[in-house]
Amino acid sequence: MAVVASVSPLTARRKLGAALRMLRDQHALTTEEVGAHLNCHNSKVSRIENAKRACTKKDFDGLMDLFGVEEPRLSELKALMIKGRQRVPPWWYAFNDVISANYAEFLAYEAEAVHCFEFQPLLIPGPLQTSDYARAVTSIGFTALGPDQVDSLVEVRMQRQERLREEEPLIMDAVVTEAALHLLVGGTQVMRGQLRHLIKVSTLDNVRFRVIPFHAGEKGASTGAFLLFASGRDIEAEVAFIESAENTTAYQDDPLTLKRLSRLFRNLSDAALSEDDSRELVESIEKELILNE
């Protein structure tokens, strides 16, 4: 039970959901059939399996009875059910006035992830941004917000970066196009500071930052930004977030979509420079900005 005690409620819900889905598959049952046993709609069963909602004790008992789960597995799953129902406010709860429900879900997955894979065609990934760069991007992307709200969103972005420096840090695999290094977000001084920060943060053992050069041509020609999260060491993506032109991020957990995006990320990675060459490119662009001042 010590392992269960050390995980967060979200992780516990994920583990329980995955176990329940496996048990349902082993018994060759549909969500409709399980829902009928629990006297609920099949959508509720799906949400429990996908960690979208906590499992109640009543539903848990009904599921264990349906699947015939016995000790010691029963106690293990019960511990996950209890942990998954705990309500511990996350750090971003203090920013609820500016964080959408979709963004809160994104932050929850990022907080629990072991590995993330991010592709950005025009911008520097959030966890690698400086506060000045983040403020410039946020001010443009959320024009309806006031200065204090923009400050709060920038603070959230800066807090996200702590995941890269924790005792068990988030492993980040980031790929950007060369265009992201040339776009003068916030002006020359802000961009120079951002490039210098990239050079520094890219040396972290858990950060792999690479650039797709202009000469890669169509191999690096993907216009949509996306991010994949994996919560296991096998780095198999479990959820994706796809950015849209309206500054919204769509959640995806469809296996085929995850497989397609994982393949796309591998292809983009193959088109990118090595980490050392990418760092040299960043350094050269930063020097160009100095000469052009």
The answer to whether residues 20 and 63 touch, using CB atoms and an 8 Å cutoff, is yes
Q: Report the pLDDT value the prediction gives residue 234, as an integer from 0 to 100.
A: 60
Q: Report the pLDDT value the prediction gives residue 141, as an integer from 0 to 100.
A: 64
**CATH class (in words) of the domain with range 91-291:** alpha beta
Q: Report the pLDDT value the prediction gives residue 2, as an integer from 0 to 100.
A: 45
Mean pLDDT, 10 residues at a time, over the chain (293 residues)?
Answer: 61 89 95 94 90 90 96 94 84 88 87 91 96 90 74 94 89 96 95 96 96 92 89 76 73 89 95 97 93 73
Q: Report the pLDDT value the prediction gives residue 261, as an integer from 0 to 100.
A: 94
The answer to whether residues 34 and 23 touch, using CB atoms and an 8 Å cutoff, is no
Which residues neighbour 261 within 8 Å (Cβ) at sequence distance 6 or greater? Answer: 226, 228, 237, 240, 242, 252
Alpha helices in 40-168 (DSSP H): 42-49, 57-67, 73-84, 101-112, 131-141, 147-160
CA distance 113 to 102: 17
Its pTM stands at 0.73
CA distance 175 to 261: 13
The answer to whether residues 240 and 226 touch, using CB atoms and an 8 Å cutoff, is yes
Read off the amino acid at residue 7.
V
Q: Report the pLDDT value the prediction gives residue 140, as an integer from 0 to 100.
A: 76
CA distance 193 to 166: 24
* Angle in degrees, CA 165, 163, 90, rounded to 5: 135
CATH architecture of the domain 2-84 equals: Orthogonal Bundle (1.10)
CA distance 197 to 174: 15
Domain residue spans in the chain? 2-84, 91-291
Q: Report the pLDDT value the prediction gives residue 1, as an integer from 0 to 100.
A: 46
